[in-house]
Amino acid sequence: MLTSRQNPLVKQVRQLQGAKGRQAQQQFLLEGTHLLEEALAVNHPLAVVCGTEDWRSRHPDLWQMLEAQTPRLELVSPEVLATMATTVNPDGVLAVAPLGQRSIPQFPLRRAIILETIQDPGNLGTLIRTAVAAGVEGLWLSQDSVDLYHPKVLRASAGQWFRLPMALVPDLATVVQTAQAQGMQAIATAPTAPQTHWQIDWRRPSLVVLGNEGAGLSPTLLAVADHQVRIPLAPGVESLNVAIAAAVLLYEGQRQDHVSDPSA
């Protein structure tokens, strides 16, 4: 059992709490039983798993599975686990996984999302969870957004991070144009748009384009979109959380998919 906070493995895992450490090691951190189970469910490779004795006793079948599938499985003291984790009250297990082992979006797609300059990891994780629930098949993220492998992104996604093909790209406008060439309509949000989100025919393959929580979308992306839409807000309300806005749009699409007349 590892009991020293000075152990090289402990120092290595702690470095994964930051983006610089993740890039240097080409690995990222998974915290908690649920994320670990989701990773195993989709056969995402794991490099190291660290768990406490108490966690092993509560999850004997999972521990046995990890013994067969994980190159390095370590028992650690609760104090050591707390040092490695980013959460205040870790549930007894964390894992290290390699970067670059996830799927990326592939056309043709029925519904997908583009995100520009999203800064809040909780927002991104919630949006990923919402997208999977609403049947989104792919997501592209601008390179100036929050790190896709940020621990809070993974936790806020409730494990759905592993189930959505995603890619970090330098030029979102090119992705929009590629999607349009594949027959998708690009629908961008803008507070002054003449159309509301329910006036669009969402039964067509659609690419939802969403921007920064404060600044919104860049003029470049607004210009290449086929439609600009607004979500009506009560007087005095400036905007919605980007994850909530995504949910409103995506579930209008879901609604229209199940009715014969989209204006009904």
Q: What is the mean pLDDT of residues 119-144?
A: 97
Domains of the chain: 8-98 (3.30.1330.30), 111-257 (3.40.1280.10)
Q: Work out the pLDDT band at 18, boundaries 50, 70, 90.
A: very high
Tell me what pLDDT residue 27 has.
98
Burial class (CB in 10 A: 0-12, 13-18, 19+), 168: middle
Task: Tell me the Cα Rg of the chain.
Answer: 21
Tell me what pLDDT residue 215 has.
84
Tell me what pLDDT residue 208 has.
98
Tell me what pLDDT residue 210 has.
98
% of the chain residues with pLDDT over 70: 98
pLDDT digits (tens, 9 = 90+) for 73-88: 999 999 999 999 999 9
pLDDT digits (tens, 9 = 90+) for 135-163: 999 999 999 999 999 999 999 999 999 99
Question: Rounded CA gap, 72 and 50, in Å?
Answer: 8
Q: Does residue 235 have a pLDDT over 90?
A: yes
Tell me what pLDDT residue 11 has.
96
Candidates 178, 263, 163, 176; CA nearest to 228 is 176
Q: Work out the pLDDT band at 264, boundaries 50, 70, 90.
A: low
Count the Cβ atoms, other than its own, within 10 Å of residue 66.
20
Q: Does residue 216 have a pLDDT over 70?
A: yes
Question: Rounded CA gap, 213 and 27, in Å?
Answer: 28
pTM: 0.94
